[in-house]
Amino acid sequence: MSEGMRRAQVLLPFPGEGLFDYWVPEAVVPGQIVRVPFGRGAKLGIVWSLKADPSVPDERIKPVDAIWEGLPPLPEADRELLEFTARYYLAPLGEVVAAMLPPALRRRKREPRSKGRGEEGATEPAGPLPELTEGQRAALEAVPRDGFSATLLHGITGSGKTEVYLRLVAECLAQGRQALLLVPEIALTPQLTERVHARFPSARIVCLHSEAPAGERSAAFVAAMRGEIDVVLGTRLAVFAPFVRLGLVVVDEEHDPSYKQFEGVPYSARDLAVWRARRWNVPIVLGSATPSLESWASCEAGRYRRVALSARASGQPLPTIELIDTAQTPAEEGVSAPLAQAIEATLARGEQALVFLNRRGYAPVVRCGHCGWVSRCPNCSVNLVFHRDDGRMHCHHCGYRETPPRSCPECGALDLQPVGRGTQRLEERLQALFPQARIARIDRDAVRTLAQWETLLEEVRAGRYDLLVGTQMMAKGHDFPSLTLVGVIGADAGLYAAEVRATERMFQQLIQVAGRAGRAGAPGRVLVQTEFPQHPLFRELAAHDYAAFAARTLAERRALRLPPFAFQALLRADDEALEPALAFLEAARTTGREIAGREGWPVKVFDPVPMRLVRLARRERAQLLVEGGRRPALHAFLERWVEALRGLPHPRSLRWRLEVDPLET
């Protein structure tokens, strides 16, 4: 075409492979950001390769609109991150790049100006640093600084893991390099941002998460590409932030399932963070009081090193954990007498207590006392949860709401009762027991936005409340200095669940929520109501013995050849009815078994089954599990299989997706 132009492939955020040919100026190099005409509009993309697709004739190719001058090309390592993500999760490259480019940037007509302050980064730390505990000092010594290494920092709750991260960040910044800090939840970002800011007042820090204003996210992306950022801090999406001088990666609360993305490309930010650190040849620290059994097993296998922080930074002991046998001491409307007494004593001392119940709403079901009818969601295979706030029944899966009928729709009896207990009902009960107490309920109904959450945290810290009722929102790394008592209700639910990771989650949650007690002044106490005090999980919990829990659970998994001793992928299909979903999966199974058999790949292709929660938002869902003892064989299989799946006929209404390393099977 024109003088000084050549053809190149440009990667566009597009649901598909996303590679399209354009004319670009000769001087363009891979990684440059360009604006291209696309359909009737324009799109932002990345120059991917200077090779062209020979099957598309020159005259069908358009020139790019503009090169983003002044923005350096995306480094090769980051382009490889996109490629790796696409390959590992069997996702089209165009969808993966959509996870990296902030949405506002993609829609932009003109290049935004970076707001980078241009000044050189940081180090002078602010004020005197706390003297490190012995454990922190040992931990810092144990983390290698040269080249790639993965360290699991197993630090009990309140052991001061953050201080270890901050010291590592300080060294990283002193070398003029950049640090990436990941936390599992938006709610945890303000606390960490504040601490990083306070420690490095002149460092350029950006905080990335899905609630950050769109303009801020694109400005941060641009600044990061220009290398004008010292610290990127954020939730899972921050794992895709571009870097030019990455020097350190930290993944806090590494066990948290929120690192897994469910919409779009189902990636694990923790696992991608490890990949990034390896690619950049820099250290990564994975911190947790309750490490994932995957990471724990990686330590046993020598892939990660393990460093323990086994004392609290404050010098306080861990809280005592006592089990209340509800078979002996029945709970009255949820609260047993010993728990009620402990709360009373705590409040009398002017300290705070938390009662943990991981179920929101008032009652998990409305039931007819006469015929046994229960409230069900018309769109999903779940019960409707009664909420007291609006007096309606809610579906916690699809959002459907309905006013409870006056009489039973089945038998007409007037005997409809809310059955069971959620946080709202527990709050009511506690208010009746402690009429003087100022109670805050902390769950997703009461706290919807980051701003509400921050206000509430501040009020709790300021002592505005005596008694907290909360779900797992409370079980994450927050620091409440006056909280000395934690009561746990309804913990037995996870004990005999069918999910592979149900007990792991339960144990992690209980250790975490217990860890909120007694972090500052007074010693903490935890009371767990259970019908199964003899269960090994509760004995390990009472002893704060994560290692024993991990050893026992890993031995079980090894015997049953479950993850992390096997690798899995899950193919899911959904449609308006179950039959087509199952039929698609049956065809997928046949094809899969053929491929594995022909190639001799040791991969097990299971039979399709309806999902446990089979109906969701009017879609019927089924799944098929694939398992292999070795990752390379499984991946070789998956690559071939997914190609075959793309060619399988199915009704238009059917959707399918493949998930690698599923957390729930």
Which residue ranges make up the site for ligand ADP (CB under 6 A)?
130-133, 136, 155, 157-163, 313-314, 477, 479
Binding partner of residue 155 among ligand ADP, Zn ion, none, CB under 5 to 8 Å per kind?
ligand ADP
158 or 564: CB nearest ligand ADP: 158
Binding partner of residue 370 among Zn ion, ligand ADP, none, CB under 5 to 8 Å per kind?
Zn ion
Cα atoms in the 13 Å half-sphere on the side-chain side of 461: 13
Determine the distance from the C-alpha atom of residue 398 to the mean position of all C-alpha atoms in its chain, rounded to a whole number: 20
Residue 494 to residue 514: CA distance in whole angstroms: 17
198 or 577: CB nearest ligand ADP: 198
104 or 617: CB nearest Zn ion: 617
Bridge partners for 332 per DSSP: 335
User: Could you give the residue ranges of the DSSP H alpha helices within 301-436?
Assistant: 337-348, 423-433
At residue 580, the 3 state secondary structure works out as helix
Q: How far is the CB of 205 from ligand ADP (least distance, A)?
A: 18
Rg (CA), the chain: 27
DSSP 111: P
Nearest Cα neighbor of 349 from 513, 486, 483, 520 is 483
Binding partner of residue 380 among Zn ion, ligand ADP, none, CB under 5 to 8 Å per kind?
Zn ion
Burial (0-12, 13-18, 19+ Cβ within 10 Å), 553 = buried
Binding partner of residue 163 among ligand ADP, Zn ion, none, CB under 5 to 8 Å per kind?
ligand ADP
Binding partner of residue 634 among Zn ion, ligand ADP, none, CB under 5 to 8 Å per kind?
none
Binding partner of residue 400 among Zn ion, ligand ADP, none, CB under 5 to 8 Å per kind?
Zn ion
Residue 185 to residue 236: CA distance in whole angstroms: 8
Contact code string over 376-415 relative to Zn ion, x by CB under 5 A: -x-xx--------------x-xx-x-------x-xx-x--
The phi-psi region of residue 171 (left if phi > 0; otherwise alpha if psi is between -120 and 50; otherwise beta) is alpha
Whether 309 and 162 have beta carbons less than 8 Å apart is answered as no
> Which tokens go with 651?
């009704």
Binding partner of residue 132 among Zn ion, ligand ADP, none, CB under 5 to 8 Å per kind?
ligand ADP
Residue 82 to residue 240: CA distance in whole angstroms: 8
> Tell me, what amino acid is at 579?
E
Among 23, 373, 584, 656, binds Zn ion (CB under 5 A): 373
Residue nearest to ligand ADP (CB): 160
First to last CA, the chain: 53
Q: How far is the CB of 474 from ligand ADP (least distance, A)?
A: 14
Among 1, 29, 129, 371, binds Zn ion (CB under 5 A): 371
Binding partner of residue 371 among ligand ADP, Zn ion, none, CB under 5 to 8 Å per kind?
Zn ion
Q: How far is the CB of 402 from Zn ion (least distance, A)?
A: 10
Q: How far is the CB of 173 from ligand ADP (least distance, A)?
A: 19
Q: How far is the CB of 157 from ligand ADP (least distance, A)?
A: 5
Element (H, E) at 574: strand 567-575
Q: How far is the CB of 399 from Zn ion (least distance, A)?
A: 7
157 or 509: CB nearest ligand ADP: 157
Binding partner of residue 157 among Zn ion, ligand ADP, none, CB under 5 to 8 Å per kind?
ligand ADP
As a residue count, the chain comes to 665
The reply to whether 607 sits near Zn ion by the rule CB under 5 A is no
> Which tokens go with 48?
């991917």
Contacts with Zn ion by CB under 5 A lie at 368, 370-371, 373, 377, 379-380, 395, 397-398, 400, 408, 410-411, 413
